[in-house]
Amino acid sequence: MRSRSIRRGAARARVPRFLIFFLLIPMTGCPPRERPTFEEGPPKVLRSTDEIIETIEANAAKLDQALWSSSVSATGRYLDGEGGEHSFNFDGTLLFRRPRGFRMDLRPGLGEQVMQIGSNDETFWVWIEPEMRAMHWGHHRNAGLPCCEKMPVRPDQLVSALAVGGLPDESEGLYGPIRDARTTYDVLTYHRAAPFHDHRRYYIDREPPYLVRLVVFRDELGRDVTSAFLADYRTAWEGGPMLPHEVSVIWAQDGAKFTMSVGGYVPKKENEVSPRAFVMPDRTTLPAGIERVIQVDADCADTTESPGSNRTD
């Protein structure tokens, strides 16, 4: 029988110690910290900016096939359009294909699917059937702009935060990086050209495996709005890339969070991925319980409607 409620769930016990602080603070009513506290003093090991970038890109280059996991657990909390708070604790699957192909299907235990987080080269979307009964979607080119409305989970940020596709480039409208050496981390800052503001910062470990530990997204006013923490890096398969198996994302200003734990990854060849895997759902393919389809970037100048996804309020 299809579940009509979203269950509350605690974060998994495997959450690293440094994340426990961030997950407990919202329960006490205090605003969450958006980055670790850094020590003062010179960096432990000085590496050039090129070395930092090359290490991350070389790791990402090992992901030359699609990425699949059948053992994903996700917990989260979000606010609906009327200020109501909802939480969930689901299990499911994950599929990723560079550069922006992302698909996460979630369900309560052995129940039917009740949530999907997706992205392709052009668009991103989230649909949640219990309580919300809506799908939100938009275009990557408008993500993060003032004209783009909020949504329960930002698929575009999840794809960027995982860093499995490498660091940003000019195709994303981001330029950089500007490098800042800290004691424990190197920080790479990427700017958006118009309007010019700090848009994204990558905090990279100064010790092996020298990979991304934290990604901070900033809005057009220069405020930190999203923090994504990556932990439990392990080699996905023999000869494959090192990938985070624990990811926690906090939207501080929205009072929302999303944590996922991945039991393991396997590679998938191109002919093993369905041609429709990253096709955004429309009225004909959405579950019957989805009553509204909302285009979050409908007020942006550079936007077009997607067939079968007319906006409803």
Q: Does residue 123 contact residue 139 with C-beta atoms inside 8 Å?
A: yes
Separate counts of helices (H) and strands (E) for the chain: 3, 15
Q: How far apart are alpha carbons 64 and 93 in whole angstroms?
A: 20
The pLDDT > 90 percentage for the chain reads 51
17-33+44-295 is classed CATH 2.50.20.10? yes
- Strand stretches in 101-251, DSSP E: 101-107, 115-119, 123-128, 134-139, 174-181, 185-192, 197-205, 212-218, 224-235, 242-251
Q: Does residue 91 contact residue 107 with C-beta atoms inside 8 Å?
A: yes
Averaged over 63-72, what is the pLDDT? 94
Of residues 112 and 46, the one with the higher pLDDT is 112
Exposed, middle or buried: residue 259 (CB in 10 Å: 0-12, 13-18, 19+)?
buried
Which residue bears the tokens 């000085």? 46
Question: Domain limits of the chain?
Answer: 17-33+44-295
CA proximity to 230, closest of 178, 177, 164: 164
> pLDDT digits over 217-237, tens only?
888 777 888 999 999 999 999
Averaged over 115-120, what is the pLDDT? 95
**What's the pTM?**
0.79
